[in-house]
Amino acid sequence: MYNTKMQEIIRRLLEELGEDPDREGLVDTPARVERALRFLTSGYRTDVDNVINEALFSVDYNEMVIVRDIDFYSLCEHHLLPFFGKCHIAYLPQGKVIGLSKIPRIVDVFSRRLQIQERMTQQIANIIREKINPMGVAVVVEATHLCMSMRGVEKQNCFAVTSSMLGLFRENARTRMEFLELIKLRSALPGFVGSSAAAQACGEEE
């Protein structure tokens, strides 16, 4: 009846949940869910070099470049529930800059996967360092996790903040604080969620 293995699995899941997959409202659900999941995990099949598409430019500029308030949506790998929020990225060029529109697309590459927020934050910072070799990279991610608000601890108003500071952003407190001031982080500093706190909050209640 369904032309992909994934759709048949989704149909069986509906049956296990006590639903009738043949009723009007659900008959097309397996195909819809398959399309949605393939889009939401498209980062696995996206090549970062194709995303950047040679948009690296030599320039005599060494001041901070910031792209802030980048919306992202991802899926928590523990419960397959969404987490979403804002990503703020800065780097200090060292002879090369990257096309500004490429930075949100890099965020999409790593958010459209089964993820934890801590790893996603590090992956974004590491790939920018790898591709343009700047003097420093800073990434801060603020996110609401539905695995914490819809289930488990059921806290609707909390959000998790993670950061990755590389190069001068790690070594120089003044550079780091300039970045944090410029993005005007919603949370009180230095109240970052620790590297394992968000994952623990998500995973500790099954």
Catalytic residue ranges: 76-79, 117, 145, 147
DSSP state of 193: P
- State how far the Cα of 123 lies from the Cα of 185, in Å rounded to an integer: 21
Residue 151 structure tokens: 């289930």
Task: Count Cβ atoms within 10 A of the Cβ of residue 191 and give its class: 0-12 exposed, 13-18 middle, 19 or more buried.
Answer: exposed
- State how far the Cα of 118 lies from the Cα of 183, in Å rounded to an integer: 19
Residue 128: CB atoms within 10 A of its CB come to 24
| Nearest CA-CA partner of 128 in 82, 88, 176, 180 | 88
Q: Read off the amino acid at residue 94.
A: Q
Output Rg (C-alpha) for the chain, integer angstroms: 20
Sheet with strand 82-92: strands edge to edge: 114-115, 65-76, 82-92, 136-145, 160-167
| Nearest CA-CA partner of 14 in 2, 27, 5 | 27
